[in-house]
Structure 1
Amino acid sequence: MVRVIYNQWYVVLDSKEIKREKITAVKRLNKDLLFWRDNSNQIHCIERTCAHRGADLALGKIVNDHVQCPFHGIEYDGSGKAVLIPSIGKNGVIRSNFKVKSYHVDEKGDFVFMWFGEERKDLPEIKWLEGIDETFNYSSLADIWPVHYSRSIENQLDVSHLPFVHYNTIGRGGRTLVNGPIVEYKDGIMNVWVNNVSDNGQRPLKPEEVKKENCIGRLQFIFPNYWQNIINKDLRVVAAFVPIDDSNTIIYLRFYQRFLKVPFIRNFVTKISMPFNKKVLNQDKRVVITQKPIKSELRMNENLYQGDLPIIVYRRVREELKKSAKGVSE
């Protein structure tokens, strides 16, 4: 069982990972899942264990937009219902217990979102990252971290580690003193305004003393698991922190830009930027995988300070959302 916020839309895959009429088998939120696109390009998701005799449906194939079990040819539709059992004939009556669990899925921003929660007809709308639209182009990479997804999220909300973890990349300049930061949360979206400066012996400004217009950059996190660094209106770094299980997370990292307009040049620039972004991510990974315990909670044996306000707010909101949705997965 993986402890997550229930009744949420989770980013689970990059859209390009799911091909038409092909099976994509992954573990997400500690569930063995199977995804595929049908002929109308709609994505479906079901669990992988056949309801007949427990074979792995991921070893099967797509037949007439259905998943065909590799063992006895039973076909399942996108709702997880068996629609054909060859051994009883095309007109055979299929009992209702020949069904595997299915999940609602949708696409937004070239990510695949999966609803992990109670079955309902009126699913909430998927929220998207502010300002990112089709005028941007991006390059991407994926990396697996042996940590609970909460740890990887908190790392990207941590505003005081940059001069130390990223001393020779994005943390150059020695801005070790953290003013604020300003943290605002509303309706599942958290924004953090950053104002880090050189330490000349002054005291850090409190959040209410910091002006947003004096901040360099803004972090935006949308619960439960995706984030962006708003460097400026034309430059963004985006990450989705996707739970595999309680001990492993896959991070989808993207670099977005729109300051270059010529297609070939803009694609080239985003592509060559990824080794640098990979280096930055690996600097984070080197430290985060050493943190104990492997996942974070609202209250732990830690000593926090003013600069940790984004992490404190994240933990509080996460705990509130877990409680409001009865806290854990199935």
Structure 2
Amino acid sequence: MIRNQWYGVLDSDEVKKGKPLGVTRLGERLVFWRDSKGQIICMKDVCAHRGTSLAAGTVCTDREAVQCPFHGFEYDSSGRCRLIPANGKTAPVPQNFHVEAYPSRESQGFIYIWWGEHREEYPNVPRFQNLAEKEFSYTLITDTWPVHYSRTIENQLDLVHLPFVHYNTIGRGNRTLVNGPIEQIRGNEILFWPRNTEDHGEKPLKQADFPAPDESSQHIHFIFPNLWQNWIAPSLRVAIVFAPIDGNHTRIYLRTYQKFIRIPVLKKLADLVMYRFSLKILRQDRRVVVTQLPDSSEKELSENLIRGDLPIISYRRMRESLKNSV
């Protein structure tokens, strides 16, 4: 994983007030809970006393703490143990009774944690500025794939696979010729505009053959380390958080957003149709991605990439640069 990044790890609705949630993310067993104001707290899911899972315990909202189910030790939002019941309410707690806490934020309905060194000020959490979630209704699909998160990301940056993997969905039309690709790099973001066409024997057009790209037209937008969006139209988007569970598993959170239908009954029907369509596409992708070797992608692999793989090449270069900058 790339250090010193905000990683999307959960959907906000997964963490309920008054109840801890235990999950594995970035190879660590973590517990999430909400304080009395509803703010997200994240820490390692292990009691400093005997190693019990805090997620199996209780949130003490009145005391802003999570309580270990084994012996009642209580930890505040900083991970500091504030109470050892067996020693008495007024007994001081030794400094070594502490678990690591992770800075956490919520943005656009997802939960993020800071994976890296603690600092006084943190960069902004990744977000798509043109996606105001209150304006859209959305459907959510979650799925766990037995692959490294980099492979799931590369799949969504892959223009070449569309007419083959998605021949009867988003790849209809046999548009096998990959023009461009038209790409822009902005800091830690990659944007590209698909221009695939049918092959009638002509050579693919180069990026220089196209006018400057317009963000009001359909494009793909990726923000490091794990946030992706397909900007289909002003009223239709698909966004994905690729949450690393460990080195071999990824939890995918896929949302399909729409705001072109407002009538409640029709909106519910449209959401259902989009849910089923997105699920079919996701399953088509999974069938092939899980077969890739090696499990994790790196800048230098024994592959033979082509010009149409430009977004993947850019992703690998940027990922390697971010890893080496830590």
Q: Is TM (by shorter chain) over 0.5?
A: yes
TM alignment of 1:188-207, pairs within 5 A: 188-207=188-207
Equivalent position of 1:279 in the other structure: 280
Aligned to 1:276, the other structure's residue is in SS state helix
Aligned to 1:180, the other structure's residue is in SS state coil
Residues 253 and 222 of structure 1: is their aligned pair in 2 closer, same or farther, counting only changes over 3 Å? same
Distance 1:90 1:213 in 2: 63
Equivalent position of 2:307 in the other structure: 306
Q: Which moved more, 1:58-67 or 1:251-260?
A: 58-67
Distance 1:264 1:44 in 2: 37
TM alignment of 1:151-190, pairs within 5 A: 151-190=151-190
What is the deviation of 1:264? 3.8
Equivalent position of 1:82 in the other structure: 81
What is the deviation of 1:271? 2.9
Q: Structure 1, unaligned stretches of length 5 or more?
A: 326-330
Task: Please tell me whether residue 15 in structure 1 is matched to residue 16 in structure 2.
Answer: no
8 A contact 2:126–2:227 mirrored in 1: no
User: What is the CA deviation profile of residues 24-73 of structure 1, one whole-angstrom value per residue up to 9, with x for unaligned ones?
Assistant: 10000000000011221111011011111211212211123311111111
Task: Please tell me whether residue 288 in structure 1 is matched to residue 285 in structure 2.
Answer: no
Equivalent position of 1:115 in the other structure: 114
What is the deviation of 1:169? 0.7
Equivalent position of 1:51 in the other structure: 48
Equivalent position of 1:67 in the other structure: 66
What is the deviation of 1:130? 3.8
1 or 2 for the larger relative contact order (CA 8 Å, sep ≥6)? 1
Equivalent position of 1:148 in the other structure: 148
Equivalent position of 1:256 in the other structure: 257
8 A contact 1:106–1:112 mirrored in 2: yes
What is the deviation of 1:262? 2.3
Distance 2:189 2:220 in 1: 11
Which residue, 36, 39, 42 being the options, matches 2:39? 42
Q: Which moved more, 1:24-33 or 1:65-74?
A: 65-74
Residues 282 and 105 of structure 1: is their aligned pair in 2 closer, same or farther, counting only changes over 3 Å? same
Distance 1:157 1:223 in 2: 13
Residues 241 and 44 of structure 1: is their aligned pair in 2 closer, same or farther, counting only changes over 3 Å? same
Distance 2:269 2:39 in 1: 31
TM-score (norm 2): 0.96
TM-score (norm 1): 0.95
8 A contact 1:179–1:210 mirrored in 2: no
Distance 2:215 2:50 in 1: 63
Task: Please tell me whether residue 297 in structure 1 is matched to residue 298 in structure 2.
Answer: yes
What is the deviation of 1:210? 2.3
Give the partner amino acid of 2:160. Answer: S
Distance 1:214 1:22 in 2: 41
Give the partner amino acid of 1:158. Answer: D
What is the deviation of 1:234? 0.9
Equivalent position of 1:328 in the other structure: none
What is the deviation of 1:265? 2.5
8 A contact 1:5–1:224 mirrored in 2: yes
Equivalent position of 2:95 in the other structure: 96
8 A contact 1:18–1:35 mirrored in 2: yes
Over 4 Å off, 4+ runs? 213-216
Residues 251 and 214 of structure 1: is their aligned pair in 2 closer, same or farther, counting only changes over 3 Å? closer
8 A contact 2:40–2:104 mirrored in 1: yes
Give the partner amino acid of 2:182. Answer: I
8 A contact 1:180–1:307 mirrored in 2: yes
8 A contact 1:193–1:215 mirrored in 2: no
Identity of aligned residues (%): 49
Which residue, 25, 30, 35 being the options, matches 1:33? 30
Aligned to 1:5, the other structure's residue is in SS state coil
8 A contact 1:8–1:117 mirrored in 2: yes
